[in-house]
């Protein structure tokens, strides 16, 4: 069942209130049989920065990591495609990859910005610091989608 226009309007008012109070918010998208859950930021476009997307981790972990990145953006750090962040996960780097079709997944961020947004996927490694495009990356982790063009 799709939400009504009134429900959408009410939700977007709540989003705007949260972003005004905190600087951004975290939008969670539930899992289905074909794809793991993902979370993304809404409101970093107000800082002239891409939103962040994180796939395949529990909400609590994703929210913590995305809020950490949001605080860095609020502190005037600008992230771009191909950035490696060495201090987000303890002992593991993460790779920031431009999302090629953000409007397909970041519907609340696009509605908030009243137009298309840019996004960076936070790609996390396996326990050997290999990314999905690296040789030896475990097959069982490949269920996490890569939303951009791998390096």
Q: What is the pTM of this model?
A: 0.92
- What does the domain layout of the chain look like in residue ranges? 5-141
Give me the chain's average pLDDT, please: 92
What whole-number distance in Å separates Cα of residue 110 and Cα of residue 117? 6
What is the mean predicted confidence (pLDDT) over 118-129? 94
Question: Coil, strand or helix: which one is 62?
Answer: helix
Q: Which of 56, 69, 67 is nearest to 123 (CA)?
A: 56
- For the chain, give the number of residues: 151
């Amino acid at each position: 069942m799709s939400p009504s226009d009134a429900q959408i309007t009410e939700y977007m008012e709540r989003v705007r209130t949260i972003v005004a109070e905190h600087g951004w918010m975290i939008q969670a998208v539930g899992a289905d049989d074909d794809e793991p859950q993902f979370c993304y930021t809404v409101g970093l476009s107000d800082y002239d920065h891409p939103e962040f997307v994180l796939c395949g981790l529990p909400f609590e972990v994703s929210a913590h990591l995305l809020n950490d990145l949001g605080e860095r953006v609020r502190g005037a750090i600008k992230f771009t495609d191909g950035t490696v962040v060495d201090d987000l996960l303890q002992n593991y780097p993460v790779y920031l990859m431009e999302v090629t079709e953000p409007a397909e997944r970041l519907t609340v961020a696009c509605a908030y910005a009243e137009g298309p947004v840019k996004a960076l996927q936070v790609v996390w490694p396996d326990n050997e610091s290999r990314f999905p495009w690296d040789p030896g990356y475990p097959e069982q982790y490949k269920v996490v989608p890569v939303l951009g063009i791998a390096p």
